[in-house]
């Protein structure tokens, strides 16, 4: 048992020595590479890291000045078609949602009671006309007899008065005939304007009355159509100046998200008072609406063009940064480093901003990636066009 233990120790000592030799050889081979890697890391650490950014070039151009306001579409005219006589509705000739022309027949009321009234009025007038003719004949006889001194003057005067009475009765009868014919014409209900009819409010067979509140149908005039919107009262002097100069101010209507332009029109009128609760004034614009882009009571965003800035320096609005002191931009210099430049903003409109001071056309500004920038930082710049890259 003792001999086995000594041999076992010698074997362990030999194995340990072999492991030490192998480890020494491995460390000797790995040391030069590690040194080289460390040298490379140190060189990388000393080189300034380039920050990727998106840039744009400042340009010279014109900027349109708009006033924005919330508005709604209002029909140019809205008519509730009602019956002007009482009677039974016997015919409806329009379809719901149809566009009708002015004077087009919409519905009919039973005309027979009114035809009877016309016949009665005409009969009464014919009777009174016959009496008038007879009274005139008698008057001529009395004149002849009076000239022959055969009748007294009083009888002649009485006959003249009778003729005038019958003439008045005939005129009254003519009025009754005209009124009866007018009531008969009201049995044909026509469209007073061109427009779009709404839903039918009364069905065929019902009795309709002139005093009915709802009427038969509502017609809205869609061509042209108006948009009523409000702007702050501070902008009123500028608007009035343009209106007094005879300028026709364009107005654009956009959808709720202000992404799609629906129609283009012109300012038509200005309200006569400012709303003291909101500090705004209402404006009305008229649109041709030839393609029915606008619909009554539709919510829109109105943009009124009041001025145009000519030959100003323009940059994307994304390039403008703000500090407690002023607005600034990051300008990319020819050596691909950036500097902070304070600028004075003249106007921002949509995605563009007009610069009054601090920046010249053709200078390059950073529009994206500014969160990692410091003055003097090295950048790798690319424009908004992916095919263009500044080296």
- pLDDT tens digits for range 276-290: 999 999 999 999 999
**Phi and psi, residue 122, nearest 5°:** -70, -35
Domain ranges across the chain = 1-46, 52-64+310-390, 111-186
* pLDDT score recorded for residue 348: 86
3-state SS string over the chain? CHHHHHHHHHHHHHHHHHHHHHHHHHHHHHHHHHHHHHHHHHHHHHCCCCEEEEEEECEEEEEEEEEEEEEEEEECCEEEECCCCCEEEEEECCCCCCEECCCCEEEEECCHHHHHHHHHHHHHHHHHHHHHHHHHHHHHHHHHHHHCCCCCHHHHHHHHHHHHHHHHHHHHHHHHHHHHHHHHHCCEEECCCCEEECCCCCCCCCEECCCCCCCCEEEECCCCEEEEEEEEHHHHHHHHHHHHCCCCCEEEEECCCCCCEEEEEEEEEECCCCECCCCEEEEEEEECCCCCCCCCCCEEEEEEEEEEEEEEEEEEHHHCEECCCCEEEEEECCCCEEEEEEEEEEEEECCEEEEEECCCCCCEEEEECHHHCCCCCEEEEEECCCCCEEC
Residues of the chain with pLDDT under 50: 1-4, 32-46, 385-391
Residue range 293-336, pLDDT digits in tens: 999 999 999 999 988 888 889 999 988 988 888 899 999 988 88
Angle, CA of 248, 347 and 260, to the nearest 5°: 60
* pLDDT score recorded for residue 2: 47
Q: Quote the CA–CA distance of 331 and 320 in Å, as a whole number.
A: 11
* pLDDT score recorded for residue 6: 62
* pLDDT score recorded for residue 388: 39
* Domain boundaries 52-64+310-390, CATH class: mainly beta
Residues 6+ apart with CB under 8 A from 77: 193, 195, 220, 221
* pLDDT score recorded for residue 277: 93
| CA 339 to centroid of chain Cα atoms | 43
* Domain boundaries 111-186, CATH class: mainly alpha
């Amino acid at each position: 048992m003792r001999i086995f233990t000594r041999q076992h120790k010698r074997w362990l000592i030999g194995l340990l020595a072999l492991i030490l030799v192998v480890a020494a050889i491995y460390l000797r081979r790995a040391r030069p590479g590690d040194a080289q890697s460390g040298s490379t890391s140190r060189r990388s650490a000393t080189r300034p890291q380039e920050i990727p950014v998106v840039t744009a070039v400042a340009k010279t151009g014109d900027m349109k000045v708009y006033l924005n306001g919330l508005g709604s579409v209002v029909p140019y005219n809205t008519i509730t078609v009602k019956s002007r006589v009482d009677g039974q509705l016997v015919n409806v000739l329009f379809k719901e949602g149809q566009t009708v022309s002015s004077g087009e027949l919409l519905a009919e009321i039973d005309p027979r009671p009114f035809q009877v009234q016309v016949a009665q009025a005409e009969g009464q007038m014919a009777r009174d006309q016959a009496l008038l003719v007879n009274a005139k004949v008698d008057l001529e006889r009395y004149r002849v007899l009076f000239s022959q001194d055969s009748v007294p003057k009083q009888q002649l005067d009485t006959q003249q008065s009778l003729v005038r009475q019958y003439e008045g009765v005939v005129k009254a009868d003519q009025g009754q005939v005209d009124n009866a014919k007018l009531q008969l014409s009201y049995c044909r209900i026509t469209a007073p304007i061109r427009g779009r009819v709404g839903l039918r409010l009364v069905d065929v067979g019902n009795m309709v009355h002139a005093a009915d509140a709802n009427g038969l149908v509502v017609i809205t005039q869609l061509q042209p159509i108006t948009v009523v919107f409000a702007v702050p009262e501070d902008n009123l002097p500028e608007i009035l100046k343009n209106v007094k100069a005879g300028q026709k101010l364009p107005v654009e209507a956009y959808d709720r998200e202000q992404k799609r332009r629906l129609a283009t029109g012109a300012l038509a009128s200005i309200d006569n008072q400012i709303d003291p609760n909101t500090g705004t004034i209402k404006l009305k614009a008229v649109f041709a609406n030839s393609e029915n882009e606008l619909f009554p009571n539709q919510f829109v965003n109105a943009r009124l063009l009041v001025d145009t800035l000519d030959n100003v320096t323009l940059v994307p609005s994304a390039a403008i940064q703000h500090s407690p002191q002023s607005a600034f931009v990051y300008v990319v210099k020819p050596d691909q480093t950036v500097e902070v430049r304070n600028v004075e903003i003249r106007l921002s409109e949509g995605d563009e901003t007009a610069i009054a001071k601090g920046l010249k056309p053709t200078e390059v500004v950073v529009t994206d990636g500014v969160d990692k920038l410091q003055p003097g930082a090295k950048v790798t710049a690319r424009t908004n066009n992916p095919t263009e890259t500044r080296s």
